[in-house]
C-alpha cells in the first residue's frame, strides 16, 4: 500500500524549538506547514529544508482568527488533510508588573494561549477525520517563575490547563498533549541575521541534574513520540523536559 503523506502544521516553526520540530517531521517523511509571523525566517527555513521534503511557509499571526482560518484553509487546499497541529508559537515580554501595559499583557496571552485555542478550533474537524494529534508547547514557567514574568508564566500555565480541557472535549478522535521545556539553548536555530553560537559555562550545564542544558532536538524528539502510535494511550498529559530542574531544591 502507498504510504500516506501526513501533514503537520507547526506554528512558530521558522526558528528555535519550532524549527527543530519542522526539521524532525520532514526527516520522518511528513509534509511541514510552518506558520510564523516572521517572513524572513519563514522563507529562509523553507529554503534551508527544501531538500528534506515538502515544506510550505504561510505567514500567520496566530492571535488573529482570520489569519488562523486562512492558515487552515490554505493547508487543506494544498494538501487535503491535517494530521498534526503543533502549537509552538510563543513570545515573552518580561517587565516589572507596574510597567507592563495591558497591550503587552494581551499580546503575550493572545499569541501564547489564544493562538492555541484558535488553531485547535479551526483545525479540529480536519484532525478528527484522520485521528490526528495536537501537541502544545508550554514551559516550566507554568510551575515556577523568575521575577517580571507575569504575562509569560500566566500564558504557559493556561496552555497546560487548556491542554487537558481540549483532550477531554475532543475525546478519542484527537489526542491532545503538552510539553513543558526548561532551559533550551536555541541560538543556533535562529534565522541567520540573529544566529549566535551559545557561550554556555560548565556551571550552566552542571546545575541541571541531567548534567547539561537542553537542545531543541530534546523537544522535537518528544513531539515525534507524542504523534506516534507508541503514544496512543497518552492524552491530556504534560511532559516536563527540563533536565530535572523543577525537581531540584535550590537554597542560597
| Whether 152 is catalytic | yes
The label of the residue with cell 524549527 reads 19
Give the C-alpha separation, 219 to 179, whole Å.
8
Label residue 35 exposed, middle or buried (CB < 10 Å: 0-12, 13-18, 19+). Answer: buried
CA–CA–CA angle 187, 189, 191 (5° rounding): 95
- The answer to whether the CB of 165 falls within 8 A of the CB of 212 is no
CA-nearest of 112, 113, 121, 82 to 227 is 82
Of 25, 49, 57, 152, which residue is the catalytic one? 152
CA-nearest of 99, 103, 235 to 169 is 235
Give the C-alpha separation, 43 to 125, whole Å.
28
Report the relative pairing of strands 7-11 and 55-59 from DSSP bridges. Answer: unpaired
Map residue 123 onto helix, strand or coil.
helix
Give the C-alpha separation, 174 to 240, whole Å.
21
Kindly list the catalytic residues.
152
Amino acid at each position: 500500500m502507498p504510504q500516506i503523506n501526513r501533514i503537520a502544521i507547526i506554528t512558530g516553526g521558522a526558528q528555535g524549538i519550532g524549527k527543530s520540530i519542522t526539521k524532525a517531521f520532514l526527516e520522518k517523511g511528513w509534509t511541514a506547514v510552518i506558520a510564523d509571523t516572521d517572513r524572513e525566517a519563514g522563507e529562509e527555513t523553507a529554503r534551508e529544508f527544501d531538500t528534506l521534503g515538502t515544506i510550505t511557509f504561510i505567514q500567520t499571526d496566530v492571535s488573529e482568527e482570520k489569519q488562523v482560518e486562512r492558515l487552515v484553509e490554505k493547508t487543506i487546499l494544498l494538501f487535503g488533510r491535517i494530521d498534526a497541529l503543533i502549537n509552538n508559537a510563543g513570545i515573552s515580554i518580561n517587565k516589572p508588573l507596574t510597567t507592563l501595559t495591558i497591550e503587552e499583557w494581551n499580546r503575550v496571552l493572545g499569541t501564547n494561549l489564544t493562538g492555541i485555542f484558535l488553531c485547535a478550533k479551526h483545525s479540529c474537524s480536519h484532525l478528527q477525520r484522520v485521528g490526528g494529534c495536537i501537541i502544545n508547547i508550554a514551559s516550566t514557567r507554568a510551575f515556577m517563575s523568575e521575577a517580571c514574568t507575569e504575562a509569560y508564566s500566566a500564558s504557559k500555565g493556561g496552555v497546560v490547563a487548556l491542554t487537558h480541557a481540549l483532550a477531554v472535549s475532543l475525546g478519542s478522535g484527537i489526542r491532545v498533549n503538552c510539553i513543558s521545556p526548561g532551559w533550551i539553548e536555541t541560538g543556533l536555530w535562529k534565522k541567520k541575521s540573529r544566529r549566535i553560537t551559545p557561550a554556555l559555562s560548565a556551571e550552566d550545564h552542571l546545575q541541571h541534574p541531567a548534567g547539561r542544558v537542553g537542545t531543541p532536538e530534546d523537544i522535537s524528539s518528544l513531539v515525534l513520540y507524542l504523534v506516534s502510535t507508541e503514544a496512543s494511550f497518552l492524552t491530556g498529559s504534560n511532559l516536563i523536559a527540563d533536565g530535572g530542574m523543577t525537581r531540584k531544591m535550590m537554597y542560597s
